[in-house]
């Protein structure tokens, strides 16, 4: 599955490495980046993409700090950002969702990430990239159409035009695996484990559009709906966001904080 501006295959990126208007961002473990990374890729620590306020994890980062991190990577509002990681796309997807949340238009996920790149014998280099820093990126998350906070979800629980997609494990969804004060799922949410988006036979690339659309249809998720994705901290579900956008879903939101927010409130409605 490959859609321009959303998903880029390793083969396509290999042909486009020399392009000047893009920044490749590596969110792999630092030791993996040091061992070898896609030529020209800059390393970004995942901690710079999220903010924690225990017990709530995975909140939107501080606007100023995130803007400075983007600028240090050489990213401007016009730059095409291609992100990858070593885990199938969760961290990279979270960066891309965060970019979308501040209105960045040009971004793509490297399908399958580091593993898929190595599988096609994509070149690696060990020299740390030294991008030319740009003026601080002006970041604002105000009224973002890709963000769904708790109050927004509460206001749309009975809205048939809004669907909730839980990207956690079945055990977390069912309330058997408790990772917050309270366990279960948001009422009405359907469960599609983020791991089930990946094709394990193809280095964790996303499954084909036909496979994913069939699965979503079985769950009652339709393109004409607005879909809100969440997991425990909107790390795993960030890949769900990218996958849905690549499949042509126009209205997709992510829930920063996700279950670590919802499940730690004393009065939010919960199903098991």
Q: State pLDDT tens for residues 154-165.
A: 999 999 999 999
Helix 236-246 vs helix 90-101: angle between axes, to the nearest 10 degrees? 70
pLDDT, mean of residues 11-34? 95
Buried b (16+ CB within 10 A) or exposed e, 170-202: eebbeeeeebbeebbbbebbebbbbeebbbeee
Is there a catalytic annotation at residue 231? yes
Record: fold of 150-262: Oxidized Rhodanese; domain 1 (3.40.250)
- Catalytic residue (one of 146, 231, 252, 258): 231
Whether the predicted pLDDT of 173 surpasses 60: yes
Whether the predicted pLDDT of 235 surpasses 80: yes
Q: State pLDDT tens for residues 114-124.
A: 999 999 999 99
Nearest Cα to 104, choosing from 135, 72, 75? 75
Class of domain 7-119: alpha beta
Domain ranges for the chain = 7-119, 150-262
Whether the predicted pLDDT of 270 surpasses 90: yes
């Amino acid at each position: 599955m490959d859609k321009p501006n959303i998903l880029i295959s390793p083969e396509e990126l290999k042909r486009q490495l020399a392009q000047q208007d893009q920044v490749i961002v590596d969110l792999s473990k630092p030791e993996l980046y040091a061992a070898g990374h896609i030529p020209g890729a800059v390393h970004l620590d995942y901690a710079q993409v999220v903010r924690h306020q225990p017990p709530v994890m995975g909140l939107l980062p501080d606007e100023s700090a995130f803007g400075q991190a983007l600028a240090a990577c050489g990213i401007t509002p016009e730059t095409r950002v291609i992100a990858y990681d070593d885990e199938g796309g969760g961290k990279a997807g979270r960066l891309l969702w965060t970019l979308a949340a501040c209105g960045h238009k040009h971004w793509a996920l490297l399908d399958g990430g580091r593993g898929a790149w190595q599988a096609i014998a994509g070149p690696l280099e060990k020299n740390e990239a030294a991008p030319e820093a740009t003026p601080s990126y002006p970041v604002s998350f105000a009224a973002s159409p890709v963000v769904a906070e708790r109050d927004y979800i509460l206001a749309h629980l009975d809205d048939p035009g809004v669907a909730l997609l839980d990207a956690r494990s079945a055990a977390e969804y069912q309330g058997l695996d408790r990772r917050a004060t309270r366990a279960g799922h948001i009422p009405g949410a359907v469960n599609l484990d983020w791991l089930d988006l990946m094709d394990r036979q193809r280095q964790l690339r996303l499954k084909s559009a036909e496979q994913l659309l069939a699965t979503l249809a079985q769950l009652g998720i339709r393109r004409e709906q607005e879909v809100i994705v969440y997991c425990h901290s909107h790390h795993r579900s960030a890949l769900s966001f990218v996958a849905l956008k690549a499949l042509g879903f126009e209205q997709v939101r992510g829930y920063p904080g996700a279950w670590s927010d919802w499940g730690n409130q004393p009065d939010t409605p919960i199903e098991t």
